[in-house]
Amino acid sequence: MRKSLLLTTCCFLVALCASAQIPALERVEPMFWWTGMHNPDLQLIVHGKDISARKVELSYPGVKLVAVHKVENPNYLFVDLRIFSSAVPGTFPIKFTKAGEKALTYQYELKKRNQSPDRAQGVTNKDLIYLIMPDRFSNGDPNNDSIPGMREQGINRAKMFSRHGGDLQGIMNHLDYLKDLGVTAIWLTPAVENDEPSASYHGYAVTDHYKVDPRYGSNELYKKFVDKCHAMGMKVVMDLVHNHAGTEGYTIQDMPMKSWVHQWPKYTKSNFRDAAVMDPHASPADRKQMLDGWFDHRMADLNENNPYLQRFRTQNHILWVEYAGVDGFRLDTYPYNDPVYMSQWAQDVRAEFPHLSIFGETLVWSAANQAFFTEGNTVNRGLDTHLPGVTDGVWKEAVYDALNAKEGWTEGVNRLYSVMAQDFLYKDPTRNVIFLDNHDMSRILSVVGEDITKFKSAFAMLMTMRGVPQMYYGDEILMKNFSNPDGLVREDFPGGWPGDKDNKFVASGRTDKENDAFNYIRTLANYRKNTTALQTGKLMQYIPEQGVYVYFRYDKQNTVMVVYNSREKEQTIATERYNERINGAQKAKNVVTGDTLDLAQLTIPAKAALVLELIPANAH
């Protein structure tokens, strides 16, 4: 791997030299826009060889050329437009003229906004999110496995860091499978172009923010994917990377200005210590390295204080929502971003799409650390981030303790109780995304030592706790492994490729154990989808006794009682202690088995969880 570009001012000049072969008008972004947007102002980024030597001309009713900005790099112009409410959809030429030379023309289109109610509808605690790495799920179009001109060619499924050929069409081919499982929302790791020489299959080294990676499909196919999901009653979450970008992208190879990325005298990695952002006693140097240090040699740290970069990124995200109709954003590496910009970004995006959901990745180690990044200034931060929710890694770690750790005053199952008791820190904890694993961490089956009872208990809690549950592709068929390295937890879904020995998308291709796990998750997921108490109902929990943790989800329609035995032996408990929530009910239905149980006392196998729907005392 070659050394990173752009580490010093001198390297910036090298990047300019590298731009000698670009066309006179290489691109205009956003490549189109819409009338009737909340914000009438639009800034175009224009890239082309010595484009700044040209004058910008346009004429279209309702559109005003406000300003043209020249920057350090002569290959850029930033063009400010104002699109008045009187503007109508249509196409008009933007001309770039220079005395003695032929004018360059870009045909700019203003589109009509799509007002369909199933677009940008938000992903909420009524949903179950299914996380997919597109390259590793299913290959629906072998013709796009290798794209001429891209830096990484071909596929090699035997190598974990190579591309394997999964794509959007492959996901679309299996939407029936996901709907049957009970999934209501699909989160894809970034599907936009990652044209790096190697190991960028994960999607987090973006080289073109406006283009779906052609090995996955096209922009048009991505829009069809979203439309098909909506038609089947499922939503789509788009994964965004604010903090960094792949070094092979045009804005990095030929930067508009030195301040486009964070520059250091020598390569400096982030210290990855989120506490430096919130610590009132923190060293400014530590805080700067946390926020401005690079993620990797191939991931340039973007300078979100740069106003041109801010407009570039915000408009890009607005375009994807309006163009494709995605329902929510997951924000990668949220703590590493500039907090003031991210607060304004959230307000700008939600001004255009009030129902769009947003949650940030915050893999931190306490509830207070998580709450620091959420909306409402609830922990005296002095800044409202306007971030509705986070990925609740603290909840995940507490579940791990409840499943695996020895019981203590604050350990084992009591840690889970304590974490839930700290929900007062959040403006709205139900907007947090709860999860057991993902593409960056060990799979839940391996975390619990391949103990199926513990595995089922984990999913019982995932499907019944407050928040928005998210599961990782393949967990339902007992995919396993520890993330050492990450590629081990990013294996191909069996049956997603022509010629696969086994097809786990169908029951006949799964083993008895796999079908048992699949059916367990499917039963709980579909029950949750049809039970408002588990979606928007209240939560009441009880201090664990004798290692047994009990909580209720309830509303006017239903009461669901969850009982988890964290000890290594079967236990029988009396239920009088919970009478205030049992409310006179004498029997309950086991949601998984369908059996009717007497509520006077309950027997819970070791490490098992019961999910019980109470049968009201007056029910016949």
- Residues assigned a catalytic role: 332, 361
C-beta of residue 552 within 8 angstroms of C-beta of residue 539 = yes
The helix/strand/coil state of 188 is strand
How far apart are the C-alpha atoms of 314 and 325, rounded to whole Å? 16
- Locus of tokens 């350090």: 72
Measured in Å, how far apart are the chain's first and last C-alpha atoms?
71
Q: What is the residue type of 462?
A: L
How far apart are the C-alpha atoms of 199 and 153, rounded to whole Å? 12
Q: What are phi and psi of 390, to 5 degrees?
A: -130, 165
DSSP H/E element including 553: strand 548-554
Torsion of CA 542, 543, 547, 553, to 10 degrees: 20
How far apart are the C-alpha atoms of 2 and 150, rounded to whole Å? 17
How many C-beta atoms surround the C-beta of residue 600 within 10 A?
10
The helix/strand/coil state of 615 is strand
E strands along 135-227, which residues? 185-188, 192-193, 208-212
Q: What is the C-alpha radius of gyration for the chain, rounded to an integer number of angstroms?
A: 26
How far apart are the C-alpha atoms of 437 and 475, rounded to whole Å? 9
How far apart are the C-alpha atoms of 89 and 112, rounded to whole Å? 6
C-beta of residue 567 within 8 angstroms of C-beta of residue 546 = yes
- How far is the CA of 22 from the CAs of 151, 152, 308, 505, in angstroms? 17, 21, 21, 46
Q: What are phi and psi of 270, to 5 degrees?
A: -60, 150
Q: Is the peptide bond preceding residue 485 cis, with omega within 30 degrees of 0?
A: yes
| 101-111/90-98 β-pairing | antiparallel
- How far is the CA of 94 from the CAs of 54, 309, 473, in angstroms? 12, 22, 45
Q: What is the residue type of 553?
A: R
How far apart are the C-alpha atoms of 544 and 546, rounded to whole Å? 7
Tell me the Ramachandran region of residue 201: left when phi exceeds 0, alpha when psi lies from -120 to 50, beta otherwise. alpha
Nearest to 431 by CA among 472, 370, 521: 370
Give just the sign of the alpha carbon dihedral 340, 343, 344, 346: positive
- Find residue 613's DSSP bridge partners: 560, 589
